[in-house]
Amino acid sequence: MLDDERRPASVRTSRRFAFALALLVVGGFPSLVTARTTLTLWHSYQGDERKALETSVARLNERSTTIRVNSLWVPYSAFIRRLNQAIPRGHGPDLFIFAHEHIGNWVESGRLQPIEGAVPTSELDRFFPETLAALRYDDKLCGLPLAFKNLVLFYNRKLVPTPPKSFDELIRIAKRLTRHEEHRYGLVFKSTDFYVHAAFLFGFGGTLFDERGRPRLDTPENVRSLEFVRDLVRREQIVPRNVAGDLITKLFNAGLAAMVINGPWFLGEIKAGLDFGVAPLPVLSQSGRPPRPFVTVDGIFLSAKSNHRAAAIEVMRALTSDDAAFLRATLGKQLVANRAVHRRPEVRDDPKARVFRQQLRDTVPMPNVPAMRFVWEPANRALRKVMRGAAEPRAALTEAQKRIRMLMQPPPPPANPVPYAIVLGLLLLGAVALWIRRLAQPQMRRAMRENRAAYAFAAPATITLLGLLITPFVMGAVVAFFAYRNGAFTFVGARNFVDVLLSREVGLTDPLSFYYTFAVTVLWTALNVAAHLVIGVALAMALRDKWVKLRAFYRVLFILPWAVPNYITALVWRGIFDEEFGSMNALLQALGAEPVNWFSHFWTSFAANMVTNMWLGFPFMMVVTLGALQAIPSDLEEAAAVDGASAAQRFRHVVLPLLAPALIPAVIMGTVWTFNMFNVIYLVSGGEPDGSTEILISEAYKWAFDRYERYGYASAYALLIFFILLGYSRLTRRLREPGRT
Amino acid sequence: MASVTLRGVGKDFGATTILPSIDLEIADGTFLVLVGPSGCGKSTVLRIVAGLEAATRGDVAIDGESVTDKKPRDRDVAMVFQSYALYPHMTVRENLAFALRLRKDPQAAIDARVAEVGEMLGLGALLERFPRQLSGGQRQRVAMGRAIVRRPRVFLFDEPLSTLDAALRGKLRVELKRLHQQLKSTMIYVTHDQIEAMTLADQIVVLNGGVIQQHGTPDELYRRPANRFVAGFIGSPPMNFLDVEIAKDGDGSAMRAPGLELRLPERWPEGPAVLGLRPNDLVPSDDAAAPLSGEVDVVEPIGWEAHLHGRIGETPVCAQLTADVARRYEPASTIRFDIAPRALHLFDRDSGARLSAEAQDA
């Protein structure tokens, strides 16, 4: 593959030079003869894709005498984070393979060097132009394409013998095949996922950016596309409303989805033996144009910090050669970017590959500009709102536009760290002085000497705790004083706290405001803990009575919710509250009631979270109460009964006061747990509708990971949560200390 | 003030019968002591009267009105528990006032009554303390006070003194007796201690195995125990029992056993019997014709009196003597006793029932 003719002159020269050197020092430095430029390549391919890539890498290593490529697999989920950390520190890869949409960020933050001009134009002709277009940022080529992914129409041949050519036809077929009561749908796609919606948006001539490259969502074309999809979902009702998780796969494999809009990865999820076909997305009858889905391109990119640019470019070219691509197409089942490969019979004769290739002509490269980050969350939010009927498309997009403006606000200006350093220094000095003064006390020194063995034994645990608890805490606290943009932290002082507490960016009653979320958190905590307490104590009282048969059985049964990991429970409840497939609505319908879209109104969504967390929380209170009840002599209640107390009065005047010493610490702990019950909120309602059921901890998470990586802002949230809970525990300490009883 | 009537009251726990059937009439103002060994069902009877335990059978009436189906709170009875059962989270004052507060007495009345009862029981200085700050005796007084404040129709005591040390028990026993004299209420008192029963009771009911053995005044029980169980249970030191043979002897009877030769003027049923003799009815005698002779084993002097343990035949016996008299007997020496005819208790060897003379008078 690495023919000498194809190799750039520089490489050839260096090879000759090495050869000459070897001749000169023969016998003296034999290792130099074999000295090769070693390049590191990061990728996150798995399975057959990985095998195909590694085979190509192995062949390259075999043939080349000057270059050695070490391929390193990095998990997909950690890829960007590790790349962003490693490259600036100089221990990143020379080359990396990833989806193209981040290249704008990488170029802007100096992590990626464009290769414009380094590859002959004639050689670039071997790729589909759409895939090359995706890899251009700022008019410079930033990498070479390996494979592309786009959306097409999958259809069940048994239900749809010939795929529709237009959406009118599709709607007709789909309507015929849709049976809501049987959960049969004519068409299934993630209507609330902007990645999918973009196909319609561009099909209607919509755009994402204005002429100056700023995100712009509220255009008439965009509104029209949203109206169109809204009608598919809500008027024609041929598409299920909430398509989450692997529902598409399940429905299609069960023969309940006649047609599906999905990408090439779906091929691997369809069960064997299902007779299906793929077709280009049908033409939109209203606009007369086909939908134009995003295309994402796996590219191989060059690190800005690589010291072997020439060798690296050589490897990029080798790994994107037609032969390497053929291997990835046949062994790795990839849709490769090399045109010639698609002409080889093995690929040409695969009708599925042909359809994806055909659709490729009608695609839009996923924008690779950094500003795209601001589009996702507001756009997805608008989609969710429209699909559940909470807003008209125009209003939803206007709101999304407002939100983008809010998110795009420039980061706070850098602050002068000197005053902060002085304050921190004084605080540290004070702490050290205090510590030294205590150490200087003779009795303290004596105590330390006498307990030397105790200190030694406690040291490992103390050091471990410091490492595991204190270090992350301090790091988090420090981050709260910084702003993060484009992979770099800037010191902004207390600005994050000021922004959070003054709610500068949003109104006080907006779900994004700290105070709104704080109020929801307090409500959430109070109601949950009260419910846990009531249910837990009631069940404990019931289970205490000797006459309850199978008491041991019930005890185990009631402790079960506690024993199951809470995220599993949360996911199960999420499914139970699903609008179309959940058992809660099935039950309501069986009782003759209307199904409820649980996550489209604050109170129903809040209630779904509550029910889940009640289920999770009552066993703890029950166990604590059962334990405490054992310690209450039955005489006391009998004495009260003879003294004239009814069952309620006995509970109120005798049992409850005696349970209190055990229940108060449990309530305090339960409060802290519930206050930070991230899993339930994140997994059940996910903050829906529109972030209104978010609690502080999940809101902090969203700031950090869903909204343009505002780590500093999120850390400020986290630190405020810490101080709120610290204050709470201070307040309740008096309750915990043994009082009069 | 009330009478308490139990008619055919029985209790089963699952397949186990604790009480077969109890009939009991307790007159107004009586201090009735239920006494018996542990597990005899005496506490169960008390709890059935209190309403804490439902009777499986029979009927409980207070003042002639059936309360069998009533809850404890509707029976107007007060109970003092063995464990005191003071509410640990309430002060003495709150403990005393609890029942009054529940029945919504006016606060002024509650205060007055608590003060009065506190005074009566010497708790005046302790009213603001919590139970854990009190000694055992003080707690017991609070428990009694809690019953007294209510002026209930019936007081129930479930072994209230059993957890106290001997000295305190003796003292509180006297207080209880005084209390009853003062209040003149109907009181039912459960104990396994026959001394408590004897000292406190107007009426004693001896229970064994859930069956009433005898019901009478302490004096009746002491002087004419209805059976061998009661005879052995009441009195301290306990009664001595000797297996004897009774034969006809002229107009009267003759009683024989190893170390015993006694002529009785009355006619007694012939055959095997058990002779019961209280230790204080054994009178040492120098007369060689004295009917009992035995061997001295151990002498236990207890101040002015002494317990002389010896054997008549093979049967160990105990005699209660004055210390002066006891001092005359060395271990292993022979001792002879006289018995007053009135002091004889004869029981059927098999059933344990009391035998009577003069039955053949006809």
Each residue of A353-366: pLDDT tens digit?
Answer: 899 999 999 999 99
- Hey, of A546, A547, A632, A643, which one would you mutate to test binding to chain B, going by the most B CBs within 10 A of its CB? A643
Q: CA B141 → CA B96, B117, B179, B193, distances in Å? A: 11, 10, 11, 20
> Under an 8 A CB cutoff, do A633 and B146 touch?
no
At residue A10, the pLDDT reads 47
Task: Nearest chain A residue to B149 by CA: give it.
Answer: A643
pLDDT attached to residue B216: 93
Closest CB to B73 among A641, A657, A740: A641
In chain B, % of residues over pLDDT 90: 44
Q: What is the mean pLDDT of residues B25-42?
A: 90
Provide CATH code, domain A152-292+376-407.
3.40.190.10
Q: DSSP letters of A294-357?
A: EEEEEEEEEBTT-S-HHHHHHHHHHHTSHHHHHHHHHTS---BSBHHHHHSHHHHT-HHHHHHH
Measured between alpha carbons, how far is A480 from A363 in angstroms, rounded to an integer?
41
Residue A23: pLDDT over 60: no
| pLDDT at residue A499, rounded to an integer | 83
- Residue A561: which H helix or E strand, with range? helix A551-563
Amino acid at A668: I
- Say which amino acid occupies A249: T
Token pair for B67: 């309360």
A388-410 pLDDT per residue, tens:
888 899 999 998 998 888 878 77
Please give the average per-residue pLDDT across A732-737, as a whole number. 71
What is the C-alpha to C-alpha distance for residues B83 and B81, in angstroms, rounded to an integer? 5
Q: Which residue has the tokens 């303290």?
A: A444
* N-term to C-term CA, chain A: 86
Q: What is the pLDDT of residue B339?
A: 86
More confident residue, A630 or B1: A630
Specify the pLDDT at position B359. Answer: 53
Taking a C-beta distance cutoff of 8 angstroms, is the pair A674, A524 a contact?
A: yes
Give chain B's end-to-end CA distance (angstroms, integer). Answer: 46
- For residue A547, the model assigns a pLDDT of 60
Residue B104: left if φ>0, alpha if ψ -120 to 50, beta else—which one? left
Mean pLDDT on A518-538 = 93
* CATH architecture classification, B240-348: Beta Barrel (2.40)
**What is the mean pLDDT of the segment spanning B170-175?**
87
- Residue range(s) of every CATH 2.40.50.100 domain in chain B: 240-348
Nearest to B81 among A635, A653, A740 (CB): A635
Mean pLDDT in residue range A286-296? 91
Cβ-based contacts of B51 with chain A (< 8 Å):
641-642
| Eight-class DSSP state of A674 | H
**Alpha-carbon gap: A643 to the closest alpha carbon of chain B (Å):** 5
**Mean pLDDT taken over chain B:** 89
Q: Determine contact: A657 vs chain B, CB below 8 A.
A: yes
Segment 535-574 of chain A within 8 Å of chain B by CB = none
B130, pLDDT greater than 50 = yes
β-strands B203-208, B211-216 pairing: antiparallel
**CA of B23 to nearest chain A CA: how many angstroms apart?**
23
Task: Report the 10 Å Cβ neighbour count for B358.
Answer: 9
pLDDT, tens digit, for every residue of A57-109?
999 999 888 889 999 999 988 898 888 888 888 888 999 999 998 899 899 88
Residues of B in contact with A639 (CB under 8 A): 79, 81, 85, 87, 146
- B79 touches A at CB < 8 Å: yes
Q: Which positions in chain B touch A653 (Cβ < 8 Å)? A: 87, 98, 102
Question: What residue type is A282 in one-letter code?
Answer: P
Taking a C-beta distance cutoff of 8 angstroms, is the pair A254, A136 a contact? Answer: no
Cβ-defined contact of B79 to A639 (cutoff 8 Å): yes
How far apart CA A721 and CA A527 sit, in angstroms, is: 19
CB contact under 8 A, A644 and B77: no
Instruction: Determine the distance from the C-alpha atom of residue B155 to the mean position of all C-alpha atoms in its chain, rounded to a whole number.
Output: 17
Task: Check if B129 contacts A (Cβ < 8 Å).
Answer: no
Query: For the segment A709-726, what is each residue's pLDDT rounded down to a tens digit?
Result: 788 888 998 999 999 999
Confidence bin at A7 (pLDDT 50/70/90): very low
Q: Kindly tell me if the per-residue pLDDT of B356 is higher than 50.
A: yes
Task: Please indicate if any CB of chain B lies within 8 Å of the CB of A4.
Answer: no
pLDDT exceeds 70 at position B58: yes
> Alpha-carbon distance A9 to A5, whole Å?
9
Tell me which chain B residue has its CA closest to the CA of residue A656.
B89
A646 touching B (Cβ < 8 Å): yes
Mean pLDDT of A614-634: 88
Q: CA nearest B203: which of B184, B213, B188?
A: B188
Query: Which residues have CB under 8 Å from B11's CB, separation 6+?
Result: B17, B18, B19, B41, B44, B48, B53, B55, B56, B57
Q: Does B89 touch chain A (CB under 8 A)?
A: yes
pLDDT of residue A444: 81
Of A642, A644, A741, the CB nearest to B88: A741
CATH 3.40.50.300 residue ranges in chain B? Answer: 4-228
Interchain CB contacts (distance < 8 Å): A and B: 66
Chain B: closest CA distance from residue A256 (Å):
59
The pLDDT tens digits of the residues spanning A233-243 come to 988 888 988 78
SS (H, E, C) A633-663: CHHHHHHHHHCCCCHHHHHHHHHHHHHHHHH
Please judge whether A638 and B51 are an interchain contact, meaning their C-beta atoms are less than 8 angstroms apart: no
pTM to 2 decimal places: 0.71
The domains of chain A are located at 1-35, 37-149+297-354, 152-292+376-407, 522-699
Residue A645: pLDDT band (50, 70, 90) is confident
Decide if B102 touches A, using CB distance below 8 A.
Answer: yes
A404-431: pLDDT as tens digits: 888 787 777 888 888 888 999 999 999 9
| Residue A196, pLDDT score | 93
pLDDT tens column, A158-213? 999 999 999 999 999 999 999 888 889 999 999 989 999 999 999 999 999 988 88
The two domains A37-149+297-354 and A522-699 share their CATH topology (first three levels equal): no
Q: At the top level of CATH, which class does the domain B4-228 belong to?
A: alpha beta
DSSP state of A283: B
In angstroms, the separation between the Cα of residue A741 and the nearest Cα of chain B is 5
- Digit-coded pLDDT (tens) for A655-681: 999 998 889 889 988 999 999 999 899
Q: Residue B129 — φ and ψ, nearest 5°?
A: -85, 160
CATH 3.40.190.10 fits A37-149+297-354, yes or no: yes
Note the CATH number of domain A522-699. 1.10.3720.10
Percent of chain A with pLDDT over 90: 38
Strand A37-43 to strand A67-73: parallel, antiparallel, or no bridges (unpaired)? parallel
